[in-house]
Amino acid sequence: MSKQIISTADAPAAIGTYSQAVRVGNTIWVSGQIPLDPRTKELVAGDIDAQTRQVFDNLKAIVVAAGATFDDVVKANVYLLDLSHFALVNKVMAEYFREPYPARAAVGVAALPRGAQVEVECIVAL
């Protein structure tokens, strides 16, 4: 099976040796997104709420570029600097996803790229 690279200008360009997303067959692996503004390439100003919304906006842009929707997301991994923000991430995630929700993991980490407070990656099944 061949790999198809998914890329969109509506989400931040990769800041390392990775693709925004890769599709193999009917599965799309979306790379972790941090709260970078795709136009300025800078971390969005604001609190964890603003950062979380930007992360999900970035993910959505990539998922749409792959020809899918958030209804097709089957797994999301959330990485947080501060696990006390978990309830807020849950609240924001509920605004972007609808039931049945994807499977998910939430992990507390020591640091994220560019000083971000949150990063999310996901898997899409078509």
Q: What is the pLDDT of residues 4-58, one digit of tens each?
A: 999 999 999 998 899 999 999 999 999 999 999 999 999 999 999 999 999 999 9
On whether the CB atoms of residues 76 and 122 are closer than 8 A, the answer is yes
What total number of domains does the chain contain?
A: 1
Quote the pTM value: 0.96
Both tokens of 56, joined, read: 């999900």
Q: Report CA dihedral (90, 97, 107, 23) to the nearest 10 degrees.
A: -170
Residues facing residue 119 across a β-bridge: 79
CA distance 74 to 66: 15
Q: What is the residue range of 113's domain?
A: 3-125
Domain with residue 13: its CATH number is: 3.30.1330.40
CA distance 93 to 101: 9
